[in-house]
Chains A and B, each alone.
Chain A
Amino acid sequence: MNTDDPLDDLLSPKDDLRLDAGKADAFLRATARVVDNRRRLRNLRTAGLWALFFAAGMGAMYAVRPTKIEKEYVYVTVKERAVAKAETEAPRSAVELERLAERTFEKAKAAELFRLAGNRYYRQEQDMDSALRCYRFMLSETSAATVRLTEQDSWLLASLVESRKKEIAHANVEN
């Protein structure tokens, strides 16, 4: 600014008056370092925060863990029940029992098997003819006098046994 007033010269900037370019670069480097440090600090803070959350979680788990395990005794009442021998054996059908009886040579055992087969025909399959057949075979294997009737036995067997006992008694009288 070219005027006569020396004030204008005093206040006007000089175009060729500049600082060294190296200074500007140095200021930039120094300030960029602060920005870089800020980024590192930010990353570190984030990582620290995650670590804090993790530690807090672990601490909470530690705090709520059970300190003492108490044993609780539970008493169970065991009720004993008598189990019939026939129930402990593998369940068999009337047909199987009858066939087993036919293959058994021991008379008493064969009679028992025919008896069981007859009961099953009678109670489970309501097959009167087969039941009657088995009871007859049973009485052929054993004497009616030795037969002890139980609750499991049917009225059919009972009447057959009674009838056979009467026949035996009658024969004895005649002789």
Chain B
Amino acid sequence: MMEADAVIREAALRHAVLAGDADAWRAWYAAVHAPLEAYVLWRCGRCRHFAEDVLQETWMVAIKRLRDFDPAAGRFAGWLRGVAAKTIANHLRSRERRAKLIETLKQPPANEEPADGLQVAETLAELPDHYEAALRAKYLDQRSVNEIAEERNESPKAVESLLTRARAAFREAYEKRMEGVRP
């Protein structure tokens, strides 16, 4: 789908949903829920409970603040990722929520759910936005260096450099966190 078509489609969907068209909302939700869920799980260090809470709050915030979404400024999926990132940051900042989250994570982890998920989530949350975006493009979206360079309108070399710095920043912050956690 051409970018202009996507903007027109999302503008029409936004208008319909704001007018109270539940069918339009279902169609829109179906189109973006899976990528949003994958993103939230990735950002939450693959912690299911944490991701569920974040997703629920993200959707509720999104539907209530849909008027703030500007189709001309970016895609709906990107706007939702922004809402989710803020929700994660709020969860991690709030002491009460954090304590609840730690309690939840004390439960035995499910398959493929890492024990250090909270640390991954916190590390990703404290990274600068452009590092987080670079790591997301590489790991979550599984884009090649050339694809990322094309999207960002930069040279592959510049992207490689950005990824190296982002990985180093993540490693440093993560290891610092793990030192505090380990007995």
Given contacts A10-B114, A10-B120, A11-B135, contact A31 B167 (CB under 8 A): no
Smallest Cβ distance from B161 to chain A, in angstroms? 17
- In the bound complex, residues from chain A placing their C-beta under 8 Å from that of B167 are 7
- Decide if A18 is an interface residue (CB 8 Å cutoff): yes
A13 lies within 8 A of chain B by Cβ: yes
- Classify chain A: how many residues form its interface, as a range: 20 to 34
B25, CB-defined interface residue at 8 Å: yes
- Contacts A24-B37, A30-B60, A35-B25; is A16 near B112 (CB within 8 Å)? yes
By the criterion of a CB under 8 Å from any partner CB, how many residues of chain B are at the interface?
38
Q: Are the C-beta atoms of A34 and B63 separated by less than 8 Å?
A: yes
Q: Nearest Cβ in chain B — how far from A130, in angstroms?
A: 96
Bound-complex Cα distance A138 to B24 (A): 110
Task: Select which of A13, A30, A32 is within 8 A of B38 by beta carbon.
Answer: A13
B182 at interface (Cβ–Cβ under 8 A)? Answer: no
Judge whether A13 and B26 touch: CB under 8 Å: no
From known contacts A1-B139, A11-B170, infer whether A17 and B17 are also in contact, taking CB-CB under 8 Å: no
The contact string, 1 if C-beta is below 8 Å from chain A, for chain B 144-183, is 0000000000000000000000010011001000000000
Whether the pair B46, A13 counts as a contact (CB closer than 8 A) is: yes
Q: How far, in angstroms, from A37 to B140 measured CA to CA in the complex?
A: 35
Q: How many Cβ-Cβ contacts under 8 Å join chain A to chain B?
A: 88
Q: What is the distance, in angstroms, from B124's C-beta to the closest C-beta of chain A?
A: 8
Q: How far is the CB of A119 from chain B (nearest CB, A)?
A: 93
- Counting CB contacts under 8 A, is B84 at the interface? no
Q: Are B29 and A28 in touch, CB under 8 angstroms?
A: yes
A1 to B138, CA, bound (A): 10
Is B21 in contact with chain A by the CB < 8 A criterion? Answer: yes
How far apart are B65's CB and chain A's nearest CB, in angstroms? 11
Judged by a CB distance under 8 angstroms, whether A170 is at the interface is no
A-B contacts, 27 of them at CB < 8 A, read: A1-B139, A7-B167, A7-B170, A8-B139, A11-B42, A11-B135, A12-B139, A13-B38, A13-B41, A17-B46, A17-B48, A23-B52, A23-B55, A23-B56, A27-B33, A28-B29, A30-B56, A31-B29, A31-B59, A31-B60, A31-B62, A34-B63, A35-B20, A35-B22, A36-B22, A39-B21, A42-B20
Q: Given A28-B29, A31-B63, 8 more contacts at CB 8 Å?
A: A1-B139, A10-B114, A11-B120, A12-B139, A13-B139, A19-B51, A23-B52, A23-B56
Q: Which residues in A have some Cβ–Cβ distance to B below 8 Å?
A: 1, 7-8, 10-14, 16-19, 23-24, 26-28, 30-32, 34-36, 38-43
The 9 closest A-B pairs by CB, nearest first: A39-B20, A11-B139, A31-B63, A14-B112, A35-B25, A27-B59, A38-B20, A35-B22, A34-B63
